[in-house]
Each structure stands twice: as structure tokens, then as C-alpha cells.
Chains A and B, each alone.
Chain A
Amino acid sequence: MSNDSVNTFNVSLFFPKSSTSTVTNKTGTWSFMRPSYLEKTAPCSVHCPCGQDIPRIEMLVSRGQIAAAWNTILAENPLPGTCGRVCFHPCEKACNRGQFDEAVSINAIERYLDDAAWAASIAPAAARGSAKGRRIAIVGSGPAGLAASYFLSMLGYECEIFEAAEEPGGILRYGIPAYRLPNEVLDREIARIRALGVMIHCARAVDSAFLEGAKHTYDAVFLSCGNGASMKLGVPGEELALDGLAFLRSAKQGEGAARTISVKPHGSAIVVGGGNTAIDVARSLRRLGVSPTIVYRRRREDMPAFEHEVARALEEGVRMVELRAPLALARLDGGIELKVQKMRPAGVGADGRMRVVPDGDATELIFADALYSAVGATHAESWMVPPDDGRVVRLSHAAAFWDAPVGIPLLYGGDPVNENESVADAIASGKQAAIALDVFFQKGAGAVKAELARCAVGDGTSLSMEIYLGGPRANRSGRVVSFKDIPTDYFSPSEKKRGASLPPERAIASFEEIESSLDAAEAAMQAERCFNCGICNDCDNCRTYCPELAITALRAGRRDDWSTEAGPARAINSDYCKGCGICAAECPRCAMIIEEQQS
């Protein structure tokens, strides 16, 4: 305090003024709350079957750090080029930004990243782990088998894949039409996996005898044979139906091959089914000049096919007949006559889907030049799925038979054991099997479930390889950031964008890929929309708003190298932190917490 009386009138001037530094005033002693940095889990990552670190990927893309972003995907998913095209992206449904304006274009950004990394010849960071001296046989080279071999290689296992077909990829190569996934993209993904040392034996179908003798060469077998056998319609005249899966396989080989089993151009076809295969068959037929009609026993909204694929099929001129169940097929004038039963909705069943029942005895006849059956698929042989044995351990995305009679552990993954038949879920099963096997070999079967729980992303079933390997992500809290945790004042509404699509009339003229990639500027702008839920991006709001200057930057400015440094580089000085909580409240990404102080 001072008493300045310097003017000639000698006026009293005693007011709050002090030269004592506030450093002596340890305001931290007032505190009963304590903020701290605690990175959390984003809902998108929880809902991504591959458990990708999406908020970090988006942050890196927004800063143009393509290599780091791409490698962040590769830490959890060996097939970003594929997933960026065909994934049903449940991440976007879970995106908190969806409650603000529109979800972040996570899927399109993944696609962009893989294309950009390929164009720039960026070398993947993922490397083969130090050799563990064990060999794993993998049956089937679809997404589950490829993923298992990839993650097992990262963990130091020697992997050999046995593939019955001429080329690797399974459903990716033979089931997904080229307009959704060109073979060149798949080829480069598989080349990357091979570069890790994975040996892929093509045209090498195995049988149950292989399993019997596997123990002499391998320490475990992962079975990921897929659902290669189409299900039957189960109606009279069934033999007149063409197999949808087989059609897709030939269509992927080339237009000519597809025609050999198809109908003539300008003809008509009926496609029976409501799954992705039915949609793919109908859209492929459309590209061959055929007018397809999908006949489905339930309603359109009940279709297991991905919503956006159904919408796209309709745009392309595929017709759809709902609530019609096939009763019988007959040959008529060189074509097919399908007799259908009219159905009606009858309340929601135990599985949450709308049930349908016959609507009286109303029937109809539908005519077409050909009929394709696409009512689902199942495994081709019984040894391809886990036996009905109490010792089989069912995991979220895989099954493990540790003490299988063949003498070595058998693990099962992919569509036959997955609740949700998707590429991402297949990759998840490969990852789960790889981690489970590694735990089994190191700590025994008893440790598997606890270790898998440790690697879970948030409160879901997705697993993170980075967490398993003890990377920086392992330090994050599993608490999932919700929309209300985000102070949205820091964000302005902006438009969601995907890559440009061919107009339907051009799309159906060929099997050319429909969607193109975002460009670099668009991708950065789209990634910038991400709230980066739960992770610190060095925005420095905490430091800016701290009224006590109690936050210190451990590193000036923003991180340059995100591959080696992760987590907030800020420290809170408890000598001065009053526990006011402004830092935590103003963290735009919910990367802080404030808790009552433990005395």
C-alpha cells in the first residue's frame, strides 16, 4: 500500500496499490478442487469396429500431417483404402458433431488419406514385431484373415495364409463390385501386408485333414473362411434361380464373364433378398443394361443392407417391391414367373426388427427374364465354424478353442462368428484373435479376457492394438465424451462434404468407381470440423483463460511431431491453481477434468 501525496494541494491518496509480487500469494491453498489433463475416448472410436483413433486422425489431417494420420489408421486397421470406400461407418452415426450440425466425414477422409498416402508413396510405419518363434496358419484371405496376419506379424508371429481362390482378398475381391472397390486398391493393401512378411498361398484350398495335421507345422490356426455358401430360397422351382454371389464373382472378373451367366441387355431380372449382396447384385445387373427388381419380404427400412447403398440403388433405377415373400418359381416363355405372398408388418420382434406375417392369402405373380437369389450366405463346410463344444470361448468378434482336439488352438473369425457382417467387423475379429493368441502364448488362456478388456476402446467392444502395445493411447481414460461435454461456443456450423459422386445415369454405364476422393484442401477443411473429442490439440485455451497464470506450457507452441509426442504438454502449478475450473470448462475438446481434491 502507498500513500502518495505529491501534489501541491496535498490531497489524500491511499488506495489499493502494492509492489508486493503476487508470487507470494499462493492462491493454491484456497483450492478444494483440482483440475488435471485427462484425455478421454471419442464416441466415434468406440463405435468403429477397428477402434481407430479418429479424433487424432482428424486433427492430423487438419494440419496436413498426412503420413502421421495414415499411420495412425494403420496402427488399428490394415485396410484403410478398402474401409474408406466400403465401410458402413458407424463412427459417423456416433459422431458428437452430428448433434451440432452434421457428423464429420470420417469415412471420406479415410479414403482421402489412403489415396494421398499412395500417391505420395509414403512408407507405412507398421513393422514386423521381434520374432516370437511361432507360426500361425490362417485359412482364408478375406478381411478377417488379412487383418489377423497383419496384427500377428506386428506382434512377431510368422503367418501363412491359405486361400482357395486364384487371388487373395476373399469377399473384397470376389463379392464387392468394382464400382465400390476397385481391385487396384485391394492389391496395394495386400501388397503392404505381404511386405510385413506374410506369406499368402493362393489356390490352396484346405480341408479338415489340414487342421488335423497343422500342429506339426503351426502353433495355432485362425479360421476365417467367410460365408461362401449361398442360402436356399426353400421354395418349389428353386433350381431356376441364379446364385447372386456367383454372379458378383463373375462380374468382378469382367463384364463379358458376367454376361455369360446373366440375361441379355435390356432384359429384366428379379433379385430376391434385402442384404448388401442383393443390392450389389441389382446394381451390377443395372450396369449390364438389365432392369432389376428387388423383391423383399419385409419393408425397405428393415433391410440389413446399408442404408446409403439402398438409397443409391434406387437412384440408379433399381425397382423395389417390399412385403412380398417368394412362394414358387416356374419357367414361363423362356423367363421366370415368381409367385409371391403379400406380407404385412406384425409388430416388433425380440430382435428389435419388424416381424412380417402373410397378409391373408393374397398372392401375386412377377415376371422377369431371370431371377437371382441373394437371401444370405452361410459357411460352406462344418469345420469352418467353431464346434458346438462348451470349451469354445466366445468373444465379441471371434471364438477361441484353446484346447481343440487337433492339439493346437483354433480361432475363428469373420462373418461366421460376427453378429454384424461387415468388413470392419471382420478386421475387428482378426485383431481380436491376434491379441487373444498373443496373450494365450505369453500368459495362458486364463488371462485372455482381462487383457482384451484392458484394450477395449471406451465402453464398447472395439479393441486398440496401440493400447495393447502400451502406446500413448493407453494413458487415456475410457470415459466416452458426450455432446454435452463439448463447449460448442468454440465451433461454428459448417457443411459436411464427401467426395463427388458420378451422376446415376453415368454410374450405371460402367463399373467405374462412383465416388472420387476429396482433395487435400477439402479433406483438411472437413477434418477441421472434428471436435477432436477428448484429446488435447494444443489449442492453449486452458493457459489463456487461467486467471492465476498457473498453467505452464512444457513445450512452446504446437507439437510438430505427433508420432512421438502425445498427450497434453501443459502442467498445472498447484501452488497457484485455485481450482476455479475455468480451464476444464473452457477446454473445447473435453481433455481435462476437475475433481474434488483428495486431502
Chain B
Amino acid sequence: MREVLEGSQAVAEAVRLARVKVISAYPITPQTHIVEELAKYCADGSLDGRFICVESEHSAMASVIGAESGGVRSFTASSSHGLALMHEMLHWAAGARLPIVMAEVNRALGPGWNLWVDQTDSLSQRDTGWLQFYCSDGQEALDTTLLAYRLAEILNLPIMVVMDAFFLSHTYEPVDVPSQADVDAFLPPYEPKFLMDTKNPYALDEVAPINVYMEMRRSIQMAMEAAPGIYQAIEDEFYTRFGRRYGLVEPYRCEDADIVFVTAGTAAATARVAVDTLRAKGERVGLLRLRMFRPFPAEAFRLGLAHAKKVIVLDRNCSFGAGGVFAQELKAALYGPEAPKLYSYVAGMGGRDVTVDTFSELFTMTRDQDEPPLGSVWYGVNEEMLRS
């Protein structure tokens, strides 16, 4: 049924439809609407689950780790500093091979205090062993949450569903909410492969001596490597049931494009309009939207960019001392004599607008430049302020 929902509500709907049993979270803007909605569901009985109030995000993640260890499907949501505070427990969730799903609303980290969109919070967690999917609208946030539970429970790895602060979390859009019966058919009740069980006692997450630790790490990496293939298989099933699919990366008018934009989140929706505008002027331009970031879908990018001469990467983040994270990762994935030239731009951090004009300008700059500069170019910065 189509409803007009806020992005946060779309995620909450998915969690309800997934019949999650335990939710634990600590409020933080701009994530709070998600868990407020879920708290309401738990209270009014529309979701048969327990909402565990905690004193911090660290405890929120610890609570869902406990719930999943007990064999129960669980959920949390966070953002920015809250996610940073979870960091230790994020490693634990992955190492313990718990299929937790969380919504992560991309927000800048302070100081200076800033509530708006920025990808630095989620990208700071890229090495924790969590899968990451970046969404660009409310429908995708709902669908990805359902897909995430299915995928996580096959891989026994946790998944972050990432969405832009406000532009997505607080924006109302028409969203097709699937029926409970259809979701139940796609996402069966969670059958844990192990759980804390007093009738069949064993120890979990204990000391791993030198002779086994590395094998455990390798097992996580193997599961990550298997993820793209498995994801595509379950997305095929999702498509047959619901008629929607997204892919690991989503190409738009890339077939004959010489220059291709690569970006993630709501900026990608803007980029699509820019592609149309530029195409109308006769430019051979396309968009390859990054959706899955961990594991990094190198193969999908190589295929998607096989014919491109130049790639424009727009990062709403910066790894200080290196540059835009997406650009670095993509550069590494494409490395070789056949690789297109990669132009890295840092833009739109801390909620600054990324408009159709932004993409048009980046396109012109890139088209007119034979060789990319070393490192990332910061776009739209008021150099005046930095002079003092």
C-alpha cells in the first residue's frame, strides 16, 4: 500500500514488518524519529517486541548483541557521535557473527557541532566488519532494511543501512509499504545458527588463542567476499515478489558515457537530474550510484566503468590527510593500465547543498582538465574564511 512516509518512518515500517523482537537505542538527532516510531509500535502492540531503554549507544549495541546472542532478531539506530560511542561494540557484533541490522543516519561529527548530513560517521566504521548500504530515498530505505535482515542472517554478519540526515530521514515521500504476508514469505522467522541456550550450554566469544584468531578473521573476510553474490541472489527473489531492485551499484545512462559520476545517498538523485540536463546539451555523461560500500563491490564498479574515460567521485566526507574515502576506495578497485582517470571532489559536508549546478560545474571542470590533480579537490569552499 502506498503511503506518504518520512524516511525515518519507512525504516520503522520495515522493522515492524521484519517482526523484530528487541529494539534498543539511545536518542540522537537525526535518528530519533526512527526509534520514537518503534517505541510507539512496541507500546501499542503493533510490534510484538521489547524496547530496551539504555543510558548510551554503547549499551544500546551491547543490548542488541545480548538479544542476538539469545537468538532473537533485533534492531538499533544511531548517528554521528552515537555511532562513534558504539565503536567498540560494533567490532564485537561482527566478531561474534551476530546478524544485527541497524539504521545509521549520516550526520557530521563535532566540534563544531553540526546536525546535518556528512558521511564521516559511517565511514569511520568501515573496518568493523559491518556491511554498509547507502540509500537515496524512503522506498529504498524500507526495502534495504528488509533485504539486510535476509542477508545478515545468511552471512552471520551485521549490516548498517545508511541514510542522509534530514534530506532522507526527515523527508516525506510516497512509499509502497508491502503487506505483512509478503514480507513474511520473503523474510522467514529468524533461525539462529547458534544461541545461548541453557539446555545446550557452550561458551561464546571467549579467548581465541594465537592458533585460531587469524582463522576467525579470515572467516569474516570470506563471508564478506561471498556477500555480493548472495545479495544479488536474494535481491532477485525480492524483485520477483515486490518488483523493485537496486543492485550493488546502480548505473544510470552509463552505456555510452565518457564521463561518469560516482556518488552515494540523496546526492545521487540530484546527480541523475544533472545527467539528464547535461545529456540534453549533448554531453555523454552517466551516473554509477554507490550503494554497497562494505564489502566494496570492486567487480561491479569495474564492469560499470569499463567504457568510461573519466570518473567524477563526489565524497561528502574526508579522511583527513588522504581525501574523499569513496574516491580512494574506487581508485584502488580500478587500479591498472586500463583504469579511467579518476577526479576526486569533496563537497556537501556538514549539510552544505549539493545541487544540479554543482554536478554541472564538476562536469565542466573535469571535462576541461586532461589529467586529474593529485588528491581531492574541495568544492564550494569559501577560501576567504581560511585566509586569516
Contacts and interface: CB of A to CB of B under 8 A. Distances in A.
The yes or no verdict on A and B being binding partners is yes
A15 B202 contact: no
B203 to A, nearest CB: 5
A1 interface: yes
A16 B193 contact: no
B203 A14 contact: no
A41 B319 CA distance: 61
Contact of A18 (B202, B215, B222, B233): B202
A6 B201 CA distance: 20
A14 B216 CA distance: 5
A17 B154 contact: no
B156 A13 contact: yes
Which of A7, A11, A13 has the most B CB atoms < 10 Å from its CB?
Answer: A11
B193 A6 contact: yes
Interface in A1-38: 1-2, 4, 6-7, 9, 11-22
Contact of B202 (A6, A11, A14, A19): A19
B254 interface: no
B97 interface: yes
Interface string B165-191: 000000000000000000000000000
A549 to B, nearest CB: 13
Contact of A16 (B156, B204, B230): B204
A22 B193 contact: no
B145 to A, nearest CB: 20
Which of A6, A13, A19, A21 has the most B CB atoms < 10 Å from its CB?
Answer: A13
Interface in B194-244: 194, 201-208, 212, 215-216, 218-219, 222-223, 226, 230, 233
Contacts, number: 63
A392 B207 CA distance: 71
Given A4-B194, A17-B194, A11 B203 contact: no
B223 A11 contact: yes
B154 A7 contact: yes
B226 A1 contact: no
16 contacts: A1-B212, A11-B222, A12-B219, A12-B223, A12-B226, A14-B216, A14-B219, A15-B95, A15-B205, A16-B96, A16-B203, A16-B208, A19-B201, A19-B202, A20-B203, A21-B201
Interface string B268-302: 00000000000000000000000000000000000
Contact of A11 (B95, B155, B216): B155
A14 B215 contact: yes
A4 B191 CA distance: 14
Interface of A: 1-2, 4, 6-7, 9, 11-22
Contacts of B207: 16
B205 A4 contact: no
A130 B86 CA distance: 71
A2 B97 CA distance: 13
Given A2-B194, A13-B223, 4 more contacts: A1-B212, A16-B95, A17-B205, A19-B202
A16 B154 contact: no
B320 to A, nearest CB: 34
Contacts of A13: 97, 156, 193, 219, 223
A18 B212 CA distance: 12
B98 to A, nearest CB: 9
A11 to B, nearest CB: 5
A10 to B, nearest CB: 8
Given A7-B154, A9-B154, A11-B230, A17 B219 contact: no
B202 A4 contact: no
B70 to A, nearest CB: 14
B204 A11 contact: no
A2 B208 CA distance: 12
A17 B203 contact: yes
A19 B197 CA distance: 12
A578 to B, nearest CB: 13
Contacts of B219: 12-15
Contacts of A18: 202-203, 206
A13 B205 CA distance: 13
Nearest to B221: A12
A301 to B, nearest CB: 50
A15 B203 contact: no
B216 A15 contact: yes
A22 to B, nearest CB: 6
Contacts of B193: 4, 6-7, 13
Nearest to A5: B193
Given A9-B230, A11-B155, A11-B230, A17 B202 contact: yes
A17 B154 CA distance: 18
Given A7-B154, A9-B226, A16 B216 contact: yes
B97 A15 contact: yes
B137 to A, nearest CB: 29
B187 to A, nearest CB: 14
A13 to B, nearest CB: 5
